[in-house]
Amino acid sequence: MTTYSIGEVAEKMGLTVETIRYYDRAGLLPFVKRDSGGRRRFTPDNIQLMQMILDLKRAGVSVKEIAHFVSWRLDGDDSLDERYKFLDQHETVLEDEITKLEQSLAYLRFKKWYYKTATAAGTERIHLTSGTSQVSPQTYQEYERLLASGHTAQDLGDR
């Protein structure tokens, strides 16, 4: 069976050796065996499990919670329900975060369009209610009209 050194795994996964050692000390890698010299040897299955750890980490799951998940995995079928509920809960949290990020991205794209068109006009006043510093409702309506006509938000903000 092919195995990989910690350095090879670090390179393959875009991690540092120190990060992998930290994950090991935190109890996330109990499945990784060591050779006769005490060096970690990773199998392709171990690398797949490492990817799961990274995906959970990117989803905002704490190292402590990931350690619990890994321990449940080692329990086998006895923990299937716990693992399902764990992932379901974190899926909901991640979906909420994605929604918030999409809203932030939409706002940033609107502001790019706003500044692009203000720059082209030489003034921001084209977007403001006369005599105020408030963005006019017509500005929002114009942007929405452009989106509805098939323009993408990304295209509208590009130079």
Across the range 54-61, mean pLDDT stands at: 94
42: left (phi over 0), alpha (psi -120 to 50) or beta: beta
The model's pTM: 0.74
Is the pLDDT assigned to residue 55 strictly greater than 90?
A: yes
Give a yes or no: residue 14 inside a domain. yes
Q: Which neighbouring-strand residues pair with 135?
A: 128
Which residue range forms the structural domain that includes residue 115? Answer: 105-157
Same domain (yes/no): 15, 86:
yes
Contact between 80 and 87 (Cβ < 8 Å): no
Would you state the pLDDT for residue 14?
Answer: 96
Q: Which of 5, 54, 10, 14 is nearest to 33 (CA)?
A: 5
- Looking at the structure of the chain, the number of domains it has is 2
Q: Which of 33, 6, 37, 34 is nearest to 22 (CA)?
A: 6
Residues 140 and 82 in one domain: no
Q: Is residue 100 part of a domain?
A: no
Comparing CA positions, the residue from 32, 38, 37 lying closest to residue 4 is: 32
CATH of residue 40's domain is 1.10.1660.10
Output the pLDDT for position 74: 86
Residue 78 and residue 56: Cα distance in Å, rounded? 21
Residue 159 is predicted with a pLDDT of 56
58 belongs to a structural domain: yes
End-of-domain residue from the set 93, 118, 139: 93
Both structure tokens of 106? 């939409």
**Residue 25 confidence class, pLDDT cut points 50, 70, 90:** very high
Lowest pLDDT segment from 20-24, 69-73, 135-139, 149-153 = 149-153
The residue that leads in pLDDT, 95 or 157, is: 95
Q: Read off the pLDDT band of 153 (50, 70, 90).
A: confident
131 shares a domain with 87? no
Query: To the nearest whole percent, how much of the chain has pLDDT over 70?
Result: 99
109 and 75 within one domain: no
Domain boundary among 71, 93, 115: 93
Residue 98 lies in a domain: no
Among 98, 109, 108, 105, which Cα is nearest to 153's?
A: 109
pLDDT band at 152; cut points 50, 70, 90: confident
Residues 28, 87 share a domain: yes
Domain edge (last residue) among 48, 70, 93 = 93
Q: Are strands 33-34 and 40-41 parallel, antiparallel or unpaired?
A: antiparallel
